[in-house]
Structure 1
């Protein structure tokens, strides 16, 4: 099995984008709450479940606990117990935890009143109700990134349309208007996962097959800040970047200072070469609390900065 194909074409749906000749498009859309009233929304114990696909993880600032987005809604892990929602079990592609809740794209649960695709929606009440930020019933985004503060939102447009440009697009006003990132000096042959600084929405980074690219101007100018190794996942931890790389057939977890280039290793449980890290999350309210998922839907969490890890999901169970 070819690892590069597996990670960047099957899982990440990596796109080889033409970075020139794309005009900028802006969209203004009023925020509107949307909800489904057919079934009462509750958060209940989830004593047994199996996740087929994990779409993202994170620590929303308006709750205590780890959120796991799947193709069948949210799972919440709090105080060593699992919970789930009784409705609004949407396929939350591009899930992003933010200070006021979470942002996601994806497809609605069948039988609900939501239109497909969801575009970009935001919830501040654990998924009970939503705001339509942009592109509702128009587009779906596998690659999204949001600043924890809510001051920077990024998507990769996988095809050119009237409202979104091919390539990376960003919004600094909660999705009302959008601009296309110029991506100057970006010379990788693929695009991958994005991450945004938790408080400064102008700062973003991207993982690729040839390292991490970093920008302080909304992706208009990019700089590679690592050696050209494969990076499968990344997120910000304050001003540093937490990322996972594949080097010499080993799955590694590291921190990086983008300004100095200094890297430090974090010891993690052994992972097979065909089970790389797919998503990373850091709790901004407690940066010693971190978690990661793997290609085979394993989920690990630490509350002591990586000294010890708890395996809370194995193959999605």
Structure 2
């Protein structure tokens, strides 16, 4: 689960982040029907289709921007946002290898016949339909990513899988807020209140990168280049898979999820779902503007 954003010094950030992790897990619940007269969307004020954004994915050619939310999966490339598939609370969400392949986890929504929690589910048609792979009724993976060798996920316990069906428990000693990977590398980044945990063997072993910033959200633009955002919105870029970071600009509102792809000019393009809508950077994280103005 993500930490709370803050402008306090690092020591205070760690304390607040740890508390936020506990509160976030306690608050997690299955999606439910809105009360009479209520709307599950916030399009009128932010353009976001749900108040709870858990994942953000952008296609490699930047033609499609998808949000995984408490109310299901939405295409927000254009407004109004378009719902894809049924209503499920997608707490964990990541793109897989192959066009239109996604993995997700969370809770079934109203009218869904999926088990609670969802375990690991997969779509190969862009999120329209989902198949049950494993751990149905057992795991709600809040952190989830893919690597060249398989899947890394956390339901409070860190686990790896070569195929999404068989799992190995990892004795890592931490619970990641976000897992960031890429289908073309076995490097994985895990964000924690203590700093970035980094794996180069698809999540089997981990090293705490103590000298870097405390990153809250991370995403790979390509197999070696990653973007990271601190709890206060400060943006960093890593050209070496999370070993070192270069400070760039800042996002001045609460961030809920990020995604990154490599632009035609070689610079990473970074999207962020924020409390005020989707913003994007086309200059490697130095400046951000509303996505509909990009």
Q: Same fold (TM over 0.5)?
A: yes
Match runs of 1:1-317 below 5 Å = 4=14, 7-10=17-20, 50-60=49-59, 64-78=63-77, 80-85=78-83, 87-100=85-98, 101-147=101-147, 151-158=149-156, 167-172=157-162, 174-183=163-172, 191-200=176-185, 202-227=186-211, 229-238=213-222, 239-246=224-231, 250-258=232-240, 261-271=243-253, 275=254, 277-283=255-261, 288-294=268-274, 296=275, 298-306=277-285, 308-312=287-291
Give the direction of change, closer, same or farther, for the CA distance of 1:8–1:50 in structure 2 (3 Å limit).
farther
C-alpha displacement of 1:75? 1.9
DSSP 3-state at the match of 1:214: strand
CA contact (8 A) 1:54 1:297 kept: no
- CA–CA distance in structure 2, aligned partners of residues 154 and 83 of structure 1: 29
1:284, 1:135 → 2: CA distance? 34
Would you say the 8 A contact 2:226–2:242 is kept in 1? no
Residue 65 of structure 1: CA displacement?
0.8
> Deviation per CA, 1:178-227, whole angstroms, max 9, x where unpaired?
112243xx6xx654321123312x32121111211211123333222342
2:20 aligns to what SS in structure 1?
A: helix
> Larger Cα Rg: Structure 1 or Structure 2?
1
Gaps of 5+ in 2: 1-5, 7-11, 26-42
Aligned residues: 258
**Structure with higher helix content:** 2
Deviation at 1:11, TM superposition (A): 5.7
Q: TM-score, normalised by structure 1?
A: 0.69
CA distance in 1, matches of 2:212, 2:246: 17
> 2:242 & 2:108 partners in 1: Cα distance?
43
Select between 218-227 and 115-124 the one with higher mean Cα deviation.
218-227
Please list the CA deviations of residues 85-113 of structure 1 after superposition, one character each: whole Å capped at 9, or x if unmatched.
27502111111123432111011221232
RMSD of Structure 2 on Structure 1 (CA) = 3.3
Unaligned runs of 5+ in 1: 16-45, 159-166
Deviations 1:215-258 (A, max 9, x none): 11233332223426432111223212311124xxx531101244
